[in-house]
């Protein structure tokens, strides 16, 4: 019984990790790209103003 519980916990844990990784890729990937581009533009403008 204990081994079965461990296997179930491991499966749930791996499932949660998979969901978190997918959410992080979808949620952080696109905004990071767009904000990164905006930051580069701001940096370029600041250097040009200097």
pLDDT one-digit tens code per residue, 1-50: 667 899 999 999 999 999 999 988 887 766 655 555 555 555 666 666 65
Nearest in space to 31 (alpha carbons), one of 20, 39, 21, 42: 39
Nearest one of 10, 11, 12, 14 to 22, comparing CA atoms: 14
Q: How far is CA 7 from the centre of its chain?
A: 27
**Model's pTM, two decimal places?**
0.45
Write down the pLDDT at residue 11. Answer: 95
Q: How is the chain split into domains, by residue range?
A: 4-43
């Amino acid at each position: 019984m204990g081994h079965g519980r461990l296997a179930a916990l491991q499966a749930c844990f791996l499932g949660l990790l998979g969901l978190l990784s997918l959410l992080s890729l979808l949620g952080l990937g696109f905004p990071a790209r767009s904000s990164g581009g905006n930051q580069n533009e701001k940096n370029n403008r600041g250097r040009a103003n200097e």
